[in-house]
Amino acid sequence: MLTIDEAGGRVILQRPDGTRATYALDTHEAFEAISAAWLRCGWDTKYVYSFTWMGRPIIQLPEDMIRIQEVIWRLRPDVIIETGVAHGGSLVFYASLCAAMGRGRVIGVDVEIRPPNRAAIEAHPLAPHIMLIEGSSTDPRTIATVEAAVAADETTLVILDSNHSRDHVAAELDAYAPLVSPNSYIVACDGIMAQVVGAPRTQPDWSWNNPITAVEAFLQRNPEFVLEEPDFAFNEGQVRNRVTYWPKCFLRRRP
């Protein structure tokens, strides 16, 4: 339970184990406690279902988009592969970064690209930067199509945002990790599932059936990857950690 005492300038956190902590409102600990409650509330109210990017719905937490933009700007990848297309907002977001940088293209993979979404993406001004591949992201034929679209010397970033079950994410990690360039990342989205168990729109098995469990098992098998938070590109404040739906998501490939 979280109590925000604005008049007293403090936050009181009652933990499930019965322990209690009190933080002044002007501390990073208070910010993190309030942010955790805000993330849960946003999940319950479908906050992320209220944004567009350049005309296309983008079902993402805005901070996650700004943070990954920082990574993309630093890496300047030749190719961004995203599994999970939905309405295409994320693809358009990444394509807009490629256009602004004068470098890169985006490959979007989904088991089903609905005709209205495909038509809107293909008619978008940024369509020249986007390649759509329809098929299960873990089907060997789909993987072969993606591999054929990426040259061996290209810098590649992979973002996994399709089916977020443990087994599917595990299969995607195994399939797409070989495409990740040294010092680039494979990003396993929506690990927040483990934090919101018991909320509306969740399932009881999300405590283990989530991207984070897949990431942890993958790292044990693949020492060439490391779980590594990218540094903040700029930070003159007290905040130390991302406010995110994507905890423990950035897997960097060692040189």
Could you report the per-residue pLDDT of 193-241, keeping only the tens digit for each? 999 999 999 999 999 999 999 999 999 999 999 999 999 999 999 999 9
pLDDT in tens, 34-79: 999 999 999 999 999 999 999 999 999 999 999 999 999 999 999 9
The answer for residues whose C-beta is within 8 angstroms of residue 53's C-beta and 6 or more apart is 65, 89, 90, 92, 93, 96
Same domain, 66 and 40: no
pLDDT score recorded for residue 16: 84
Taking every pair of C-alpha atoms in the chain, what is the biggest distance, in angstroms? 61
Same domain, 108 and 154: yes
Same domain, 23 and 148: no
Same domain, 77 and 20: no
Same domain, 166 and 59: yes
The answer for residues whose C-beta is within 8 angstroms of residue 188's C-beta and 6 or more apart is 160, 169, 172, 173, 211, 212, 214, 215, 246, 248, 249, 251
Total structural domains in the chain? 2
Same domain, 98 and 191: yes
Q: Are 138 and 175 in contact (CB under 8 A)?
A: yes
Same domain, 88 and 191: yes
Alpha-carbon span 118 to 92, nearest angstrom = 12
Same domain, 127 and 231: yes
Same domain, 15 and 63: no
Same domain, 129 and 143: yes
pLDDT score recorded for residue 195: 94
Q: How confident is the model at residue 18 (pLDDT cuts 50, 70, 90)?
A: confident
What pTM was computed for the model? 0.96
The H-or-E segment that residue 33 falls in is: helix 28-45
Alpha-carbon span 123 to 152, nearest angstrom = 30
Residue span of the structural domain in which 244 resides: 50-253
Same domain, 15 and 96: no
Domain boundary among 13, 28, 45: 45
Alpha-carbon span 27 to 24, nearest angstrom = 6
pLDDT in tens, 19-33: 999 999 999 999 999
Same domain, 36 and 105: no
Q: Are 109 and 137 in contact (CB under 8 A)?
A: yes
Give me the CATH number covering residue 245.
3.40.50.150
Q: Are 83 and 172 in contact (CB under 8 A)?
A: yes
